[in-house]
Amino acid sequence: MKYVIWISVLFISCSAPPLPIAGENAESGIREVLSKQQDAWNEGNLELFMEGYWKSDSLQFIGSSIRYGWQPTLDNYRKNYSTRALMGRLEFDIWQVVSLAPETYLVTGQYTLFRESDQPNGPFTLIFKKIQGQWMIVYDHTS
C-alpha cells in the first residue's frame, strides 16, 4: 500500500503544470524595459537607454556589423546619434514575445525613428534573459 501512495504522489507531482519561474509577469517586465528604453531615447539619454542591455563584454549587437560588449554598443550609439535631431523620436512596435526557456525570451518587433528629414525603421530581434532579477537584452539584431 505504501508503494501505491508513493507512486500516486510521484505521478501527480510529475503531471502538475510547472510553476513559472518568471511568472506571467515576464512579458510585462520585458515590455516595461522596452518602454523605459523608448522614453530614455526620446529624452536624449543614451546612458539610461543602455540600462536595458546586459552590461557585459558578452552582449551581442548586430546591425551593419557585429559587435560585442556593452561599452562598444554605447560608443556606437553615441557616434551615430550624436544630436537630438539624429536621434529623433523612437517608437517600438512589439510583434511577439516568446519564451525560449523559463528565464529567456525572444522578442521581435519594429523600430521607427521619427525625424524631421526622414523616418528610418526596420525589424529587430532581441533575446532577453533574467539576470540578477532584472530582464536584460543579451542579444540585439536590428536591421
Residue spans per domain, the chain = 20-142
Three-state DSSP class for 7?
helix
% residues pLDDT > 70 (the chain):
83
User: Tell me: the pLDDT tens digits for 42-59?
Assistant: 999 999 999 999 999 999
Task: Classify the phi-psi angles of 7: left when phi > 0, otherwise alpha if psi is within -120 to 50, otherwise beta.
Answer: alpha
Q: What is the pLDDT of residue 24?
A: 62
Q: What is the pLDDT of residue 8?
A: 42
Q: Please, are residues 51 and 137 in contact by the beta-carbon 8 Å criterion?
A: no
Helix (H) / strand (E) element for 3: namely: helix 2-15
Backbone φ and ψ for 14, nearest 5 degrees, come out as: -75, -30
The residue with greater pLDDT, 16 or 57, is 57
CA–CA dist 130, 54 (Å, integer): 10
What's the DSSP call for residue 52?
G
User: Tell me: the pLDDT tens digits for 73-86?
Assistant: 999 999 999 999 99
CATH of domain 20-142: 3.10.450.50
Single out the residue of 53, 58, 36 nearest to residue 45, CA to CA.
36
Averaged over 90-106, what is the pLDDT? Answer: 97
Q: What is the pLDDT of residue 131?
A: 96
Residue 97's DSSP bridge partners are 107
Averaged over 111-124, what is the pLDDT? Answer: 97
